[in-house]
Amino acid sequence: MTQAFGDQGADQAPGRGSAPAEWIGRNPVAALVIAVAIILALWLVLAPWPAGFEDVFGKKRLFINALFNGITLGGLYFLVATGFTLIFGLMRNVNLAHGSLYLFGGYMGYEAGQWTGSWLFSYVIAFVCCALIGMAMQFLIFRRMEGQDLRQTLVTLGLSIIFSDLMVWVWGGNAIQIDTPDYLVGPVPTPIVVAVKSSGEAVFLQYPRVRLVIFAASVVIGIAMWLALHRTRIGVMIRAGVDDRDMLSVLGYRVQLLFVAVFAFGAGLAGMAGIVGGTFQSISLGEDSHFLLASLVVVIVGGMGSIPGAALGALIIGCSEQFGLVYFQNYATVLSFLIMIIVLAIRPQGLLGRR
């Protein structure tokens, strides 16, 4: 029974009804708490805040901006972390060069954008470049170290040290910003109320189009991956391999092809995320460490080897970072790590991870 990537957990007797209903039955208090939290969240977002409330908690505009920024940042983190968790889940390889792939993709995307003027095309370039590197890594190096998880991870570490330094050599220490293409510039009106003018007229949130588009793209990619994993033959192989790697060896030579494909895909995703990051914020030296760490935290919180886990973790960490920036300036990053520590203490395998 494959249980990877979001399937329900073990220990269920057959024929007991749907899993969520059963979970609610077993954890009534937790279910109630989550229901209340959802209702509260919906009210916070959709309803105008009364004046007294705003005196205590600050302006709703601030909150809504932090929320939207957090969610869209979560989309970016999802793109990076998902490749990381795929590579770890299937090949048991903690790819410490993942941040370097992110940064390299961003740089290559920037160069491609400069050269062709097309923002979309730069994604293709970034994906292809990073996928090729990923393919080379798996095919030339890791294939020879089958089963030696720690050794493979150390190799990725060595590679990341070299990549990082070489990228500093080529692109220096300056921050590079990738321009948003003209057709995506500008705000988009949303139906979310952020304030009520003294005249009684509601003020609606205007949010940058590009961030919404990229978030939508992340969601589409996530759904596409989920479908691929659950509806295609390759997907079944991947999930089976994540569950029980030894079982895969029965399938023979195709296993290595699968590993190469997965590594390439994960690396390519990270590269594309680099362009996203360059557009949202900027890319520069040090961002490789930053996004590697972000992937680590997201995957630890969400669950190792789980793509829904990566999505959940990315959302949590994205929001915690943005809310931290707005409400606890000095300790924004520490807040994310605190969440990670709490999750580790209570549920070491991550929120959606399996033991």
Partner 1 sequence: MALAQTTETPIGVGAQQRSVSPWIAKQAPNLLLGLVLVLLPAVANDFILDQILGWTLILGMIALSLMFLAGYGGMVSLAQMSVAGVSGYMIAVLGTSSLPKISLFWPWWVAAPLSIGIAVLFGTFAGALSARTEGIYTIMITLALAAAFFYLTLQNWPVFNGFNGFTTIPAPHFLGVNWRDPVPLYYMILFFAALSYAVVLYLSRSPFGLALQGVRDNPRRMEAIGYNVTAHRIAAYAFAALIAAVGGILMVWLNNQISPFSIGIDVVINLLVIAVVGGLSHPIGPFIGALIYVILRTFALDALVAVGLDGRRFQTLIGLGFLIIVLFSPDGVVGIWRRLSERARAAGGRNGA
Partner 2 sequence: MSTIAERLAAAGTGNAIELRGVSRFFGALAALIDVTLSVRPGERRAVLGSNGAGKTTLLNCVTGDFPPSSGTVRFFGEDVTILPPHERIRRGLRRTYQISLLFQGLSVRDNVYLACRGCSRGRYSFIRTRANDAIMQSVADLISLVHLEAVADRLVGELAHGQQRQLEIALALAGAPRFILLDEPAAGLSPNERGDLVAILTALPSHIGYIIIEHDMDVALRVVESVTMMHNGRIFKEGAPREIEADPEVQQLYLGGGHG
Answer with the entry of partner 2, partner 1, none that 10 interacts with (C-beta below 5 to 8 A by kind).
partner 2
1 binds partner 2 (CB under 8 A): yes
Answer with the entry of partner 1, partner 2, none that 11 interacts with (C-beta below 5 to 8 A by kind).
partner 2
159 binds partner 1 (CB under 8 A): yes
Instruction: Find, among 83, 140, 158, the residue nearest to 256 by Cα.
Output: 140
Which residues lie below 8 Å from residue 135, measured CB to CB, with a gap of 6+? 260, 263, 264, 267
What is residue 194's three-state secondary structure? strand
- Residue 44: other Cβ atoms inside 10 A: 15
What is residue 304's three-state secondary structure? coil
Long-range contacts of the stretch 60-66 (C-beta < 8 A, 24+): 60/193, 60/194, 60/195, 61/194, 61/195, 61/205, 62/326, 63/326, 64/192, 64/194, 64/205, 65/205, 65/326, 66/319, 66/322, 66/323, 66/325, 66/326, 66/327
- Residue 333: other Cβ atoms inside 10 A: 16
Q: How many residues bind partner 1, per CB under 8 A?
A: 39
Taking CB under 8 A as the criterion, which residues in 104-143 touch partner 1? Answer: 141
Answer with the entry of partner 2, partner 1, none that 162 interacts with (C-beta below 5 to 8 A by kind).
partner 1
Q: For partner 2, give the closer residue by CB, 19 or 36.
A: 19
2-10, 206-214, 313-321, 326-334 -> range binding partner 1 (CB under 8 A): 326-334
Taking CB under 8 A as the criterion, which residues in 2-21 touch partner 2? Answer: 3, 8, 10-14
Answer with the entry of partner 1, partner 2, none that 285 interacts with (C-beta below 5 to 8 A by kind).
none
Q: For partner 2, give the closer residue by CB, 12 or 206.
A: 12
Interior/surface letters 231-245, b for 16+ CB within 10 angstroms, e for the rest: eeeebebbbbbbbeb
Could you give the string, one character per residue 280-299, with x where binding to partner 1 holds by CB under 8 A and - elsewhere? ---------x---x--xx-x
39 binds partner 1 (CB under 8 A): no
29 binds partner 2 (CB under 8 A): no
Which residues lie below 8 Å from residue 124, measured CB to CB, with a gap of 6+? none
What is residue 216's three-state secondary structure? helix
C-beta of 10: minimal distance to partner 1 in Å? 17
Query: What residue ranges bind partner 1 (CB under 8 A)?
Result: 92, 94, 96, 141, 149-151, 153-155, 157-162, 164-166, 169, 289, 293, 296-297, 299-300, 304, 330-334, 337, 340-341, 344-345, 348-349
